[in-house]
Structure formats: structure tokens, C-alpha cells
Amino acid sequence: MWKGRDVITMREFTRKDMEEVLALSEKMEKISRGRGYDPILKGKILATLFFEPSTRTMFSFQTAMLRLGGTVIGTAEPKSTSAAKGETLWDMIKLVHECSDAIVMRHPNEGSARRAAESSDVPFINAGDGSNQHPTQALLDLYTIKQQKKKIDGLNVLLLGDLKYGRTVHSLAYALSQFEDVTITLHSPAQLRFPAWMYAELKESVKIREIPSMDLSQADVVYATRIQKERFADPTEYAQSAYVLDAEKIGTMKEDAIIMHPLPRVDEIATEVDADKRAKYFRQEANGIAVRMALLSLVMTGR
Amino acid sequence: MTTDKKEREGEMRVKKIENGVVIDHVNAGKAPAILKLLGIDSTFPGTVSIIMNIPSAKFGLKDIIKIEGKVMAEAEINKIALVSPHATVNIVKDYHVVKKHAVKLPEKLEGIIRCPNAICISNREGTPRLRVEQQSPLKVRCEYCERVFTEEQLA
Ligand SMILES: Nc1ncnc2c1ncn2[C@@H]1O[C@H](COP(=O)(O)OP(=O)(O)O)[C@@H](O)[C@H]1O
Ligand SMILES: [Mg+2]
Ligand SMILES: [Zn+2]
């Protein structure tokens, strides 16, 4: 079932799938921190293609592969080589799958992950396709929620920031919709609202609602995301839309709530918040390695 | 006048065509959307007549499109169902209707329409592939970028 599987979108993940990944991730945690070594991917090659700059996701995948005894190949700038010469993604993947046992790709076009996966004979993992999906981020987010809150069912998750272009919140919302009695609460600037089609689709399976002001008091998880200046034609609109979680704001949060962020942050979370016991974003980021180890192992070996 | 008579009068407001197609039973107001779907504009060599808001016995009001010199393959005929699921395409040869096709919306739209999402990979390379998830109101999903589109977004 897992062996050879492509990881393209959280829309295709059942609760059982997610729980399998989380369970294996937990077993990987020790090795992910450099304690112990289990070369289950020895002799395997992972190709990483990042058509958009990324340090954390790429490093996280590379480390995950190396910790399991595998090897990584990749070019820092696939854009400047193949695509610039007018080669299609389809043709490029035909070369890359001959050279590897699995492919990880980030690409600016939505649907590029599906296209690449259709061209590839080896398992393909989406590390972000435009504003569409970023499934491995959603899995590490779930892992962190489970780790910190001991459960996912019944939680109220508040998503903040750029909910329109933010692929991480899209993937996370679909992942959460598979759990019981979850409430997804949305708050964003008017220009960056959650896509209407996703909202309509999700409300069939989960409680999802938008709130007009940034009320943190009901949330079990406050998930902040970055608002990019480039999304606004008018800089004054950006200034009005920007938000900051600082010590005062998080004072309104529940005592046992957690603060997450897919990072990098810019100004959304004041550095003074880092010392608060509810701040879990660095832990969340670190969890990415174990979760990606689990996924790489599952798609290449089936376990 | 009976609705039947009004309908026939309405339908013949323009000169007969010699060879081409008559798209009948088009939902009232949808004729322009169909021309857009078929990619017919000022560069099309034949004469195109649109009659809108004709009283119709079956549908209340309907539009008709008559396109001189147009040849239509089945995929193109069925594309019309996106905006007008009850349309009939009449093939005209030597001034006479020689064949009638009821349009039928296929579940899978492969290479038939473009994805309206400008940054979808299917607009860069390969063949667009969309799936009809619901007929009415229309919901079509792109199998690449996953977005769901309504009738207004498609035509
Ligand atoms: N040569 C033609 N030029 C233009 N319109 C035509 C021509 N022949 C038929 N039509 C129109 O095509 C439609 C279908 O014609 P027909 O099969 O005769 O009628 P119906 O479908 O109502 O039984 C009608 O709207 C008719 O007016
Ligand atoms: Mg008739
Ligand atoms: Zn698309």
C-alpha cells in the first residue's frame, strides 16, 4: 500500500494513513536527533528538485534521508538548468526518475506535483506546489499537535495570516477535517481569505468558520502564518493587514494552548514570545525530520 | 399566436444557412458563453447568427446559434453541455438538417477545456484534465491544481 505511493495532496489522505505516518514518526524521533542509526534506506537515492528557494524543507528532507543511510542528489537551481532551456517538467522527471528511488519537488505551478508524479515511475513527494498543497508540512504539523496536546480530536485550531496563498494552511485544514469534532477557525485580512472552493468542500466534513477579529481565547492551537508584502499592490494595505503576536496578545490565550508557525517568521511572532512555554514552532520545525524519515521509509520500503 | 408558432418565427429570423450547425435549445442568455467556449470570435471565417430570448414551448425562453461553415467533432459538441445541458446540435447540409445530437456532458474533460487557473501546470504543458463532480449547479475540478470551478468561472 505505502510502497511506491505518491504524496501529492492531503485531500488523498485518510485518518488511518495519517495515523500510520505519525506512529512511525514517533519511532524515528530518536534517530532524527542523531541518537542511533538505522540504515533502512542504505543504497537508496533521493532526488531533490527545488524550483523555488527553500532551506528548511530541503535540509529537512536531506537530513531525513541521510539519517536512514540513504544518499541525496539534487541541484540547487533546477530552474537555471533544464527549465530555462524550455524543457518540460514531464521530460525532466523522465531523467530524474532514472537516477533515483524517490523524488521530492517544490515548484511554483499549482498541479505541478500531480504532473511530475504522473511522469515518474518512482514515488514522488510534493514539497509545495504553488498555493495548492504542502502535505509533508501538514503531517509534521499534525505530529506536533498530537505530541503537544496528546490528541487531535476535539481541538479548536485557529489559522491566522495568509489563508489564500498559504499552502501549508490548505494542507493542514484538509488533514484536520479527517479527525472527530475538530473546529477550524479562520482569521485573515480580507484580501487573503481562505479559498471559497476549499471552504465549501471542507464544511461537508468539519466545523469550519471565519471570525471577524483576532480572538485567540477559544483556540487550542494558534497557527500563525506569514503575510508576504508582495501579495499587496499597495504598501499601506500591507501595513494595515500585518499582525503581531506579542506577549500582550498571547496573554488572552488558554494556558494549555500552543502556538505554531510553519516558519520562516518575519514579524508575526515577536521574539519575546519564544520564551513562553506555549511557543512550539521550533519544536514543530525539528519534528519535520522524523516525519519525513517516516514518509521516505514508507514510500520506498513499505514500512 | 401559439407558442409553437412564435417559436418557429423566432427561429427563422435569420437567413437559412447552407452548411454548418444550428445549436438549438440553448439556455436563455447562454449563447455568448457558448461562442466563447467554442472559441468563435471575429477571426472565424463564417457568418454567425445569434438569436436570443426566443419563446420556447419546452423551456420558456431559449437562444439559438447558427454558424455557417462550422464542423463540430463530438468532444466539441459535448462541451456545450457545460453551460446548456439540454442543447441540441443540428448539422445542416445543403440547407437541411441531416443529423441531430443531444449534448452530453462527459465525466472527464480531457483536452476539452482549459483550466481557468492561470498558474496551473496544465496551462504550461500537457493536456488539461478536469472532472465533472456535480452537474447542477455545475462543479468541475481540475485534476492537476485541484481547484473546483463553477459554470461562471468556466465560460
Ligand atoms: N438551413 C437552415 N438554416 C438555419 N436554420 C435552420 C436550417 N434548417 C433548420 N434550421 C433550424 O434548426 C433547428 C432545428 O431544425 P428542425 O430539425 O427542422 O426542427 P426541430 O428540431 O424543431 O424539429 C430549428 O431551429 C430550425 O429553425
Ligand atoms: Mg424545435
Ligand atoms: Zn488546474
- Give how many domains chain B has, as a whole number: 2
Mean pLDDT value across residues B108-125: 96
Q: Which residue's alpha carbon is nearest to atom 18 within ligand 1? A: B97
- Give how many domains chain A has, as a whole number: 2
Q: Which helix (H) or strand (E) holds A90?
A: helix A89-98
User: Within this chain, do residues A52 and A174 fall inside the same structural domain, yes or no?
Assistant: no
Cβ–Cβ gap A115/B120 under 8 Å: no
Which residue range is the domain that position B55 belongs to? 3-102
DSSP per-residue string spanning B130-144: EEEEETTTTEEEETT
d(CA A181, CA A257): 17
Residue A18 lies in a domain: yes
Task: Kindly tell me if the per-residue pLDDT of A294 is higher than 80.
Answer: yes
Residue A217 lies in a domain: yes
User: Within this chain, do residues A58 and A112 fall inside the same structural domain, yes or no?
Assistant: yes
Residue A2's identity, in one-letter code, is W
User: Within this chain, do residues A56 and A123 fall inside the same structural domain, yes or no?
Assistant: yes
Per-residue cell: A256: 494549555
Q: Which of B110, B119, B121 to probe by mutation at the A interface, max A CB count within 10 Å?
A: B121
d(CA A218, CA A298): 36
User: Within this chain, do residues A116 and A205 fall inside the same structural domain, yes or no?
Assistant: no
User: Within this chain, do residues B67 and B83 fall inside the same structural domain, yes or no?
Assistant: yes
User: Within this chain, do residues A69 and A166 fall inside the same structural domain, yes or no?
Assistant: no
Count the neighbouring beta carbons within 10 Å of the beta carbon of residue A6.
Answer: 20
Count the neighbouring beta carbons within 10 Å of the beta carbon of residue A137.
Answer: 26
Identify whether the C-beta of residue B57 lies closer than 8 Å to the C-beta of residue B7.
Answer: yes
User: Within this chain, do residues B58 and B16 fall inside the same structural domain, yes or no?
Assistant: yes
Per-residue cell: A19: 495515523
User: Within this chain, do residues A99 and A174 fall inside the same structural domain, yes or no?
Assistant: no
Average pLDDT, chain A: 95
Nearest Cβ partner of A11 from B126, B142, B146? B146
Task: Kindly tell me if the per-residue pLDDT of A108 is higher than 90.
Answer: yes
User: Within this chain, do residues B45 and B29 fall inside the same structural domain, yes or no?
Assistant: yes
Interval between CA B97 and ligand 1 midpoint (Å): 6
d(CA A36, CA A26): 14
- Within 13 Å of residue A78, how many CA atoms lie on the same side as its CB? 23
Q: What is the pLDDT of residue A281?
A: 98
List all residues 6 or more positions away from A228 whose beta carbon is below 8 Å from its beta carbon: A162, A165
User: Within this chain, do residues B83 and B115 fall inside the same structural domain, yes or no?
Assistant: no
DSSP per-residue string spanning B6-29: HHHHHHTSSPPPSSEEEEEEEETT
Q: What is the pLDDT of residue B7?
A: 86
Q: Which of B114, B146, B154 to probe by mutation at the A interface, max A CB count within 10 Å?
A: B146
Q: What is the CATH number of the domain that holds A296?
A: 3.40.50.1370
User: Within this chain, do residues A167 and A293 fall inside the same structural domain, yes or no?
Assistant: no
Residue A115 lies in a domain: yes
Task: Kindly tell me if the per-residue pLDDT of A81 is higher than 70.
Answer: no
Q: Which helix (H) or strand (E) holds B48?
A: strand B48-56
Cβ–Cβ gap B143/A114 under 8 Å: yes
Q: What is the pLDDT of residue B59?
A: 82
B20: left (phi over 0), alpha (psi -120 to 50) or beta: left
Q: What is the 3-state secondary structure (H, E, C) of B101-120?
A: EECCCCCEEECCCCCCCCCE
User: Within this chain, do residues A222 and A270 fall inside the same structural domain, yes or no?
Assistant: yes
Assign B3 a pLDDT band (cuts: 50, 70, 90). confident
| A110 Cβ under 8 Å from any chain B Cβ | yes
Count the neighbouring beta carbons within 10 Å of the beta carbon of residue A30.
Answer: 12
Q: What is the CATH number of the domain that holds B28?
A: 3.30.70.140
Identify which has the larger pLDDT, B112 or A111: A111
Per-residue cell: A173: 485544514
Burial status of residue B120 (CB atoms within 10 A of its CB: 0-12, 13-18, 19 or more) = buried
Assign A82 a pLDDT band (cuts: 50, 70, 90). low
Q: What is the CATH number of the domain that holds B141?
A: 2.30.30.20
Q: State the sign of the Cα–Cα–Cα–Cα dihedral B41, B46, B51, B57.
A: negative
User: Within this chain, do residues A67 and A144 fall inside the same structural domain, yes or no?
Assistant: no
User: Within this chain, do residues A240 and A141 fall inside the same structural domain, yes or no?
Assistant: yes
Mean pLDDT value across residues B77-100: 96
Q: What is the pLDDT of residue A187?
A: 98
Burial status of residue A101 (CB atoms within 10 A of its CB: 0-12, 13-18, 19 or more) = buried
* The length of chain B, given as a count of residues: 155
pLDDT digits (tens, 9 = 90+) for A151-203: 999 999 999 999 999 999 999 999 999 999 999 999 999 999 999 999 999 99
Q: What is the pLDDT of residue A240?
A: 84
User: Within this chain, do residues B118 and B65 fall inside the same structural domain, yes or no?
Assistant: no
User: Within this chain, do residues A19 and A81 fall inside the same structural domain, yes or no?
Assistant: yes
pLDDT digits (tens, 9 = 90+) for A214-245: 999 999 999 999 998 888 888 888 888 889 99
Q: Which residue has the cell 477559544?
A: A218
d(CA B75, CA B109): 9
User: Within this chain, do residues B39 and B92 fall inside the same structural domain, yes or no?
Assistant: yes
User: Within this chain, do residues B84 and B37 fall inside the same structural domain, yes or no?
Assistant: yes
User: Within this chain, do residues B66 and B43 fall inside the same structural domain, yes or no?
Assistant: yes
R_g of chain A computed on alpha carbons: 19
User: Within this chain, do residues B58 and B122 fall inside the same structural domain, yes or no?
Assistant: no
* pTM summary value: 0.92
Which residue range is the domain that position A147 belongs to? 136-284
Assign A83 a pLDDT band (cuts: 50, 70, 90). low
Identify whether the C-beta of residue A217 lies closer than 8 Å to the C-beta of residue A152.
Answer: no
pLDDT digits (tens, 9 = 90+) for B14-40: 889 999 999 999 999 999 999 999 999
Above pLDDT 70, what percent of chain A?
Answer: 98
Task: Kindly tell me if the per-residue pLDDT of A33 is higher than 70.
Answer: yes
User: Within this chain, do residues A177 and A86 fall inside the same structural domain, yes or no?
Assistant: no
What are the beta bridge partners of residue A72?
A46
Task: Kindly tell me if the per-residue pLDDT of A80 is higher than 70.
Answer: no
A45-49, A241-245, A250-254, B125-129: least confidently modelled range: A241-245
User: Within this chain, do residues B73 and B115 fall inside the same structural domain, yes or no?
Assistant: no
Task: Kindly tell me if the per-residue pLDDT of A84 is higher than 80.
Answer: no
Cβ–Cβ gap A110/B124 under 8 Å: no
Residue A72's identity, in one-letter code, is V
User: Within this chain, do residues B29 and B95 fall inside the same structural domain, yes or no?
Assistant: yes
User: Within this chain, do residues B147 and B78 fall inside the same structural domain, yes or no?
Assistant: no
Task: Kindly tell me if the per-residue pLDDT of B119 is higher than 80.
Answer: yes
Q: Which helix (H) or strand (E) holds B148?
A: strand B148-149
Interval between CA B43 and ligand 1 midpoint (Å): 25
Residue A276's identity, in one-letter code, is D
Mean pLDDT value across residues A77-85: 68
